[in-house]
Structures are given as C-alpha cells and as structure tokens.
C-alpha cells in the first residue's frame, strides 16, 4: 500500500468567507478553546532571529492540527493574549481543504478533532468545541465584544496556592469603592492612548462597554478583588493598564480624578502601571447573529478616531462607514487600502 501523501492547500485558493464553499473550496472551522497562559510566551507564534521558536499557544495548536489534518494549519484568533495571560473562552478559526476533513478518522465531522487534539496537545491547552463556521464568520473581525476578568489579592500571604497561577498579588491594600469610581469614568467610546503600547498604523479608540470592580473575598481567600472588563476590542496591554491605573487609585498613590484625566492623553502615559499578567483571563467573545457576521467583519476592519480628531486617521484607511471620519481628506481616505489587522482584541 502506498503511503498517504499530505493534503496541501494553496493559500490563494482561500475564498471569501461570505460565500458558501464549493466542493473543492476550503471549509472554515470555528474552535472554542481554553488555556493556562503561565508557561506560554503569549498567543502568537514567535521565533527570534537566529533562535529557537518560543512556546506559544498558537504554535502548539497549529502544530497539532497540522499533524491531524496533514496540511499546514494557520489560525486566526479573537484575542491575541500576552505572555502569562489565560483564556477560558477564546475563539479562533481555521480554513481547511475539504479533503482534510474527509479522512476515515474525521469523517467530515469537525467535532472529532476535540478528542484527537486532546491526545496531542499539552495539558495547559484544551479545545471546548470544533464546529463548521457559519458564512461570513471571522473569529477576529466578526467579534462584537471581548470579556476579560482580573483576579487580584492584596493579602500579605499572596494568592491561595491552588489559584496562584490565575490570581495576581498587589502588595498594598486598596479601596475597592475608589477603584470602582476610577473605572466608571473610563467607560464609553474614548481614545485610550494613555493605556496602550504604541503600534504603528493602529488606532487607540475603543468602546469600553463595562468596567467594574467588586470584593469577592472568602475566608479562604481574604482581600480578593475581581475586575470585569468588556470592550469591542482592546489595544496592546490595554486591559492590564486599565487595571493597574485603578489599583494605583485604590491604594492612594494617585488621586481620584487620575483615570479620567488620562483620557485627554494622546500617547502612552508613563504614570500608568501595567498589572501582572497572571491575574488576567479572557472569558468570552460575543458575535452577532449569523446573518450579520460578514457586515460586522467589514465594519471592524475600519479605523476609528474621535470626532474633531479626523487628522489622526490619515493614512490608516478609514472606511466610508466610519462616523468619526468625515473631516478634510475623508474622501481620499475612504478609498485608501485598509491595513491588515486593525482591530486586535489584545490584552
């Protein structure tokens, strides 16, 4: 018997996900997954020049998928989490040739990949579900919002040992009511440049839809606090910077109006501490109804700026649907090419 040859797919053959796949066109799969980010260098694959590839969530998953499907798997993710950040509700998609799913072991049933991946993946990564994605679905650009939680303790002992990997330790006592006040003023459509690490060609305007703090202490875990943060997308290090700014107010190191004043900044503020990565977990990603997925993806690819600051979007390819880009030069910008990867959902 001849050995089976790997199934190859030409990336140029990957068609518009808004069109139903034909008999020879790639099929888009949706993966819902979780991971403990402690021992990973973040989500995205990384290989330093001349060095060995670092251990990442994307690398571990793509390597396992490539072995099973016998073609070079490439994942697109909803939120590219930083090193040490966890996820219980991460979402990714993958385009695969139909032949890769038609093997005897898979039988055109993507759900069988859950069991097979469990055997190949390390114990700190697990797939909840693997399904055929509906038309127009894009794990990154179709997302309506991302939900994060942040667990932090201020107890002198530190985190409970069995929660030490997902609970940060802050060395000073905090006032949770003051942190809640500091969080509330940040909600809404704002420019969060002060809380974001700069990334060329990217906007820092985000719709922070919810940001709350509460005391969740128990006798076993005293002085334990939980932040819940929801936005349409997040800039690089934005969530941990939002948390860090509130903690600085809570401990009294910064005044009550500190966070609100940062919204006037248009560059990263050196006054904002970045909270430790291990307290942060991506818990859910929301998507619109199936019939609205493609439209949402098109909207998300645009670049947003605040009204009156349209000049900040020049050269960033704002689409016609951008309500905050109607100033001088808008017509030229409406026809400009969009940069790849504008909305990221980073942590």
* CATH code, domain carrying 195: 3.30.70.660
Query: Is residue 191 annotated as part of the catalytic site, yes or no?
Result: no
Which residues are documented as binding site for substrate?
A: 148
* Distance between first and last Cα of the chain: 50
Domain total of the chain: 2
Q: What is the 8-class DSSP label of residue 7?
A: P
Sequence-ordered strand ranges (E) for the chain: 27-35, 75-77, 86-96, 125-132, 145-153, 168-169, 188-191, 205-215, 224-231, 280-286
Q: Are 128 and 162 in a shared domain? A: no
Q: What is the pLDDT of residues 61-120, one digit of tens each?
A: 999 999 999 999 999 999 999 999 999 999 999 999 999 998 878 888 999 999 999 999
pLDDT of residue 199: 79
Q: Which helix (H) or strand (E) holds 115?
A: helix 112-120
Q: Are 92 and 188 in a shared domain? A: no
Measured distance CA(267)–CA(204) in Å, rounded: 9
Q: Are 253 and 162 in a shared domain? A: yes
- Choose the catalytic residue: 82, 138, 166, 181: 82
Q: What is the pLDDT of residues 39-53, one digit of tens each?
A: 999 999 998 888 899
Which residues are documented as binding site?
A: 148
Query: Is 312 within a domain?
Result: no
Neighbours of 24 (CB within 10 A): 9
Q: Are 158 and 236 in a shared domain? A: yes
Residue 194 tokens read as: 């002060």
Domain end position, chosen among 102, 132, 162: 132
CA atoms 111, 113, 116, 118: torsion sign: negative
Query: Is 310 within a domain?
Result: no
Q: Are 64 and 182 in a shared domain? A: no
Tell whether the model's pLDDT for residue 331 goes beyond 70: no
Query: Is 256 within a domain?
Result: yes
pLDDT of residue 332: 36
Q: Are 149 and 108 in a shared domain? A: no
Q: What is the pLDDT of residues 160-180, one digit of tens each?
A: 999 999 999 999 999 999 999
Measured distance CA(47)–CA(51) in Å, rounded: 6
Helix axes 176-184, 238-250, angle to 10 degrees: 130
Q: Are 38 and 78 in a shared domain? A: yes
Over range 8-26, report the average pLDDT. 50
Q: What is the pLDDT of residues 182-202, one digit of tens each?
A: 999 999 999 999 999 877 778
CA distance to 38, 154, 241, per residue, from 193 (Å): 27, 28, 11
Mean of the per-residue pLDDT values of the chain: 86
pTM recorded for the entire structure:
0.83
Q: Are 173 and 262 in a shared domain? A: yes
Contact 148, 82 (CB under 8 A): no
Q: Are 31 and 104 in a shared domain? A: yes
Residue 82 tokens read as: 């930083």
Q: Where are the alpha helices (H) located in 152-231, listed in sequence order?
A: 176-184
Tell whether the model's pLDDT for residue 323 goes beyond 90: no
- Domain range for residue 96? 25-46+53-132
């Amino acid at each position: 018997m001849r050995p089976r040859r790997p199934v190859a797919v030409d990336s140029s053959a990957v068609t518009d996900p808004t069109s139903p796949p034909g008999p020879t066109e790639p099929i888009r799969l949706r993966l819902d997954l979780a991971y403990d980010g402690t021992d990973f260098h973040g989500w995205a694959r990384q290989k330093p020049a001349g060095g060995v590839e670092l251990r990442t969530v994307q690398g571990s998953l793509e390597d396992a998928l490539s072995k099973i499907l016998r073609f070079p798997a490439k994942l697109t993710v909803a939120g590219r989490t930083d090193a040490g950040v966890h996820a219980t509700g991460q979402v990714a998609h993958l385009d695969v040739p139909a032949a890769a799913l038609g093997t005897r072991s898979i039988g055109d049933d993507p759900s069988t990949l859950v069991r097979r991946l469990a055997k190949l993946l390390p114990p700190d990564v697990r797939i909840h579900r693997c399904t055929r994605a509906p038309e127009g679905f894009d794990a990154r650009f179709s997302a309506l919002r991302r939900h994060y939680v942040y667990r932090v303790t201020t107890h002198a002992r530190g985190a409970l040992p069995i929660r030490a990997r997902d609970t940060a330790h802050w060395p000073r006592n905090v006032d949770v009511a003051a942190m809640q006040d500091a969080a509330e003023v940040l909600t809404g459509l704002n420019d969060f440049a002060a809380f974001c690490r700069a990334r060329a060609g990217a906007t820092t305007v985000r719709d922070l839809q919810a940001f709350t703090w509460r005391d969740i202490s128990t006798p076993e875990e005293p002085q334990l606090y939980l932040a819940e943060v929801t936005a349409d997308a997040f800039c690089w290090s934005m969530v941990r910077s939002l948390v860090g700014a509130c903690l600085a107010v809570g401990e009294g190191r910064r005044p009550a109006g500190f966070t609100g004043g940062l919204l006037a900044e248009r560059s990263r503020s050196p006054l904002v501490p970045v909270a430790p990565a291990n307290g942060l977990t991506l818990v859910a990603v929301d998507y619109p109804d199936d019939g609205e997925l493609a439209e949402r993806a098109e909207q998300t690819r645009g670049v947003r700026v605040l009204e009156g600051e349209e000049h900040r979007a020049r050269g960033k390819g704002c689409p016609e649907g951008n309500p905050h880009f109607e100033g001088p030069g808008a017509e030229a910008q409406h026809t400009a090419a969009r940069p790849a990867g504008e909305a990221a959902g980073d942590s």
